[in-house]
Amino acid sequence: MFQLFLLTLPIFMLIAIGYFAVRAGWVSESALPSLGSYVIKLALPALLFQSMASRPVEESLNLDYIRAYALGSVVLLLAAFALSAKLRKASCWESAFQGLGATLANSAFIGLAVAGELFGSAAAVAVALTMLVDLLILIPLGLVLAELCSGQGGAGKRALELFKRTLTNPLVLAILAGLLVAGLEVRLPDALDQAVGMLGRSAAAVALFVIGGSLVSSSVKGRMADIGQMTVFKLLLHPAAVALAVWVLPGFDPAMQTIAILMAAMPMASVISLLGERYGQAALCAPALVVATGLSFITVNLVLWLLGLAGRLPMSL
């Protein structure tokens, strides 16, 4: 257990460094969006591209992983939506965001750092597959559910527009480009490959710093029951749901099974706050993100400990 704590400690220390650097004024809070854009539009796409391009397509496009992660996540999204809408009598949009907050994992920032320490380059492939599930299945499903529930028209049109916009996302383009290069068996020139690798390796540290810095201006006042539901679903029930899906579906690579559970154990992705602002749910999403990120130091280590007891982690741990 102590070894697992030491494994995750540097990751959460980087988040803390980001928080205190912004809090102390060493880095301006206004610089965080630019740093975040650097990660999302340059560093992380470079990492995902290289990870997908450097291995056979059949290994990168792991359909078993996609099926297991998508099944557990979709079931939990629907459960969170139903609990909020039917039992807690929340609005359609709030219920939809309860579902999204329960299932959109911070795979690209925290998940990559944690799984990368344990499983190396396979973690980046898992991040790419997780993000495909998030962007192509979970976010459209949550928004369409809200529109159907509220009786608003044009749900199909909105889903189509969202799908088109997703296909131009730098992360998706990087994944598709990597698969194309792998499929054509093209070898990048050494200098270009090294430059892409250097860019990709900067993603995790900068991303964790941005997460910490973004917590400075966030508040957790009010709506604790709503925040509590989203946090419990994300940190505890999401990894449990994906673990159940991994167990139910036919077996696949044990390492990828473990990474799927780990990705689900991460706190919600920061995109939940951006979506919340766009659809009038910022008062729920922003504080839930703060609470879940803070508590994840405990819950992620708990999940790692349970995976270790089950013999799912490298033997050195």
Place of tokens 């159940």: 244
**Residue 298: Cβ within 10 Å count:** 10
d(Cα 219, Cα 215) in Å, to the nearest integer? 8
Mean pLDDT by 10 residues, the chain (317 residues): 76 90 92 87 89 84 94 97 88 91 91 90 90 90 81 64 78 90 88 92 86 78 83 97 94 92 94 78 83 92 92 72
pLDDT value, residue 69: 97
Q: 3-state SS string over the chain?
A: CHHHHHHHHHHHHHHHHHHHHHHCCCCCHHHHHHHHHHHHHHHHHHHHHHHHHCCCHHHHCCHHHHHHHHHHHHHHHHHHHHHHHHHCCCCHHHHHHHHHHHHCECHHHHHHHHHHHHHCCHHHHHHHHHHHHHHHHHHHHHHHHHHHHHCCCCHHHHHHHHHHHHHCCHHHHHHHHHHHHHHHCCCCCHHHHHHHHHHHHCHHHHHHHHHHHHCCCCCCCCCHHHHHHHHHHHHHHHHHHHHHHHHHCCCCCHHHHHHHHHHHCCCECCHHHHHHHHCCCHHHHHHHHHHHHHHHHHHHHHHHHHHHHCCCCCCCC
pLDDT value, residue 21: 95
In tens, the pLDDT along 256-282 reads 999 999 999 999 988 887 788 777 887
CATH 1.20.1530.20 fits 2-309, yes or no: yes
Where exactly are the structural domains of the chain? 2-309
Instruction: Report the percentage of the chain scoring pLDDT > 70.
Output: 93
pLDDT value, residue 316: 57
- State both tokens at 197: 């690798």
For residue 34, how many C-alpha atoms fall within 13 Å in the half-sphere facing its CB?
Answer: 5
Stated pTM of the model? 0.86
Q: Can you name the residues that pair with 268 across neighbouring β-strands? A: 105
Longest dimension (CA), the chain: 58
CA-wise closest residue to 209 among 287, 110, 127: 110
